[in-house]
Amino acid sequence: MNIGIVCYPTFGGSGVLATELGKALADKGHIVHFITYQQPVRLTGFRANIFYHEVRVPTYPLFDYPPYESALASTMVDVVKNNGLDLLHVHYAIPHASSAYMAKQILKKENKYVPVITTLHGTDITLVGRDKTYAPVVAFSINQSDAITAVSANLKEETYRTFNIEKDIQVIHNFVDVRRFGKKPIDAFRKVIAPNNEKIVLHASNFRKIKRIADVVYIFKKLNEVIPSKLLFVGDGPERPMAEELCRELDLCDDIRFVGKQQDMEEIFAIADLFLLPSEYESFGLSALEAMAGGAPVVATNVGGLPEIITQGVNGYMAKVGDVEQMGNYAIDILKDEETFQRFKTNARAQAEKFDIANIVPQYEKLYEGLYEGFCRKTAKVCD
Ligand code: GMT
Rounded to the nearest whole angstrom, what is the distance from the C-alpha of residue 269 to the centroid of ligand 1?
18
- Higher local confidence (pLDDT), 141 or 383: 141
Q: What is the pLDDT of residue 199?
A: 98
Q: Which domains does the chain have, with CATH numbers?
A: 2-175+357-379 (3.40.50.2000), 178-354 (3.40.50.2000)
Cα separation, 332 vs 275, in Å, equals 13
Rounded to the nearest whole angstrom, what is the distance from the C-alpha of residue 225 to the centroid of ligand 1?
31
Residue 206: other Cβ atoms inside 10 A = 18
Which amino acid belongs to residue 322? G
52-75 pLDDT per residue, tens: 999 999 999 999 999 999 999 999
Our mutation pick for probing the ligand 1 site, out of 42, 92, 121, 157, counting the most ligand atoms within 8 A of Cβ, is 121
pTM (predicted TM-score): 0.95
Rounded to the nearest whole angstrom, what is the distance from the C-alpha of residue 317 to the centroid of ligand 1?
20
Q: Which of 184, 179, 171, 235 is nearest to 207 (CA)?
A: 235
Which residues line the pocket of ligand 1, CB cutoff 6 A? 12-15, 17, 92, 121-123, 151, 174, 206, 208, 210, 281-286
Cα separation, 47 vs 79, in Å, equals 18
Residue 312 has pLDDT above 60, yes or no: yes
262-284 pLDDT per residue, tens: 988 999 999 999 999 999 999 99
DSSP for 333-359, please give it.
Answer: HHHSSHHHHHHHHHHHHHHHHHTBHHH
| Nearest atom (ligand 1) to Cα of 208 | 3
Rounded to the nearest whole angstrom, what is the distance from the C-alpha of residue 151 to the centroid of ligand 1?
9
Strands 316-319 and 169-171, bridge-based pairing: unpaired
Least confident stretch, 72-81, 124-133, 227-236: 124-133
| Nearest atom (ligand 1) to Cα of 119 | 14
Cα separation, 65 vs 299, in Å, equals 40
Rounded to the nearest whole angstrom, what is the distance from the C-alpha of residue 313 to the centroid of ligand 1?
24
Look at ligand 1, atom 7, and give the residue with the nearest C-alpha: 14
Query: What are the phi and psi torsion angles at 383 (to 5°)?
Result: -115, 140
Rounded to the nearest whole angstrom, what is the distance from the C-alpha of residue 61 to the centroid of ligand 1?
34
Element (H, E) at 18: helix 13-27
Average pLDDT, the chain: 95
Look at ligand 1, atom 9, and give the residue with the nearest C-alpha: 13
Look at ligand 1, atom 2, and give the residue with the nearest C-alpha: 12
Cα separation, 248 vs 257, in Å, equals 12
Rounded to the nearest whole angstrom, what is the distance from the C-alpha of residue 15 to the centroid of ligand 1?
9
Residue 383 has pLDDT above 60, yes or no: no
| Nearest atom (ligand 1) to Cα of 287 | 16
6-24 pLDDT per residue, tens: 999 998 899 999 999 999 9
Give the sign of the dihedral formed by CA 128, CA 130, CA 133, CA 134: positive
Query: Is residue 96 within 8 Å of 102, Cβ to Cβ?
Result: no
Where are the extended beta strands (E) located within the chain? 2-6, 31-36, 50-54, 87-91, 116-120, 147-150, 169-171, 199-205, 229-235, 256-260, 274-277, 298-301, 316-319
Q: What is the pLDDT of residue 379?
A: 67
